[in-house]
Amino acid sequence: MSAPARRLDPSLLRLVLITDGRGDPVRVERVIEQAVAAGLRCVMLREPQWSARAVLRACERLLPLLTRTGGRLFVNDRVDVVAAGVAHGAQVGHRSLPPEVARRVLGPDFLLGYSAHDQSELDLAVAADCDFALLSPVWPTTSKPAAPHLGETRAAQFTSKARLPVVWLGGVDPTRAASLAELPAVGRPAGVAVRSAIMSALDPGEATQSLLQALAPGPIAPHAKGS
């Protein structure tokens, strides 16, 4: 099983689901299936407690689902698993392989995202030939309650200067997602990423639909990578 060659339509980043690391493969896959059925097209498998083999097996089941719906499957940190051809790309951050090393390992055919927190890290993502970046935390988040957040104004300033698609993460809910349409077009993100808003929802499919509706017609970045 091989993921397709490197292609990323920025519209696929409108809503990104990042799994919450709670380590139950059955639950994780069930939530993803419900979210994809509701219209989600981008998933990041972030399960640091799983072994490489467990991540591999989950990807073997999830890749056909995302590929069939025109979506993209990413794996956080485990560049080795992605290189085996069971995901479309990897997501790396400051605890992972440096992005330029991850790109060398993956080669030119896999997608690569980078977790950034400021302008310098967004610039690093561009220099390392990443396809997009997560920018966080934009709003206060329960997962990291003590972490300072950027706020919409500062995040928009960083996004407007970025030379690749940017996805905002941290404290996203339907109200905040809807507010992005009020930002100047140049500062809008390509989309938003969530964890608990879908992973902890009583009805993951309904939660996905609510977020997608809040984003419609949606904050699509006016520039593509390299523009």
Residue 149 to residues 58, 84, 111, 118, 141, Cα–Cα distance (Å): 32, 36, 27, 11, 8
Beta bridge partners of 15: 192
What pLDDT does residue 147 have?
A: 74
Q: Could you identify the residue written with the tokens 């051809």?
A: 85
pLDDT (average), residues 186-204: 97
Residue 101 in this model has a pLDDT that exceeds 90: yes
- pLDDT class for 219, splitting at 50, 70, 90? low
Q: What domains sit in the chain, N to C, each tagged with a CATH number?
A: 10-215 (3.20.20.70)
Q: What is the pLDDT of residue 98?
A: 97
- Of the pLDDT bands very low, low, confident and very high (cuts 50, 70, 90), residue 198 is very high
The model's confidence at residue 223, banded by pLDDT at 50, 70 and 90, is very low
pLDDT at 145 over 90: no
Tell me, what's the pLDDT at 215? 95
What local confidence, expressed as pLDDT, does residue 141 receive?
A: 81
In this model, does residue 146 exceed pLDDT 90?
no
Q: Which residues, listed in sequence order, are joined to residue 116 by a DSSP beta bridge?
A: 135
What does R_g of the chain's alpha carbons equal in angstroms?
A: 16
pLDDT at 224 over 50: no
For residues 160-173, average pLDDT: 96
pLDDT, average across residues 69-75: 97
CA distances from 93 to 78, 90, 129, 207 (A): 11, 10, 14, 27
Under the banding of pLDDT at 50, 70 and 90, the label for residue 148 is: confident
Helix, strand, coil % (nearest 5) of the chain? Answer: 45, 15, 40
Q: For position 7, what pLDDT does the model report? A: 86
Average pLDDT, the chain: 93
Q: Give tens-digit pLDDT for 31-66.
A: 999 999 999 999 999 999 999 999 999 999 999 999
> How far, in Å, CA of 41 to CA of 167, rounded?
14
Asked if residue 227 has pLDDT above 60, the reply is: no
C-alpha–C-alpha distance, residues 163 and 226, integer Å? 6
Average pLDDT over residues 17-35: 96
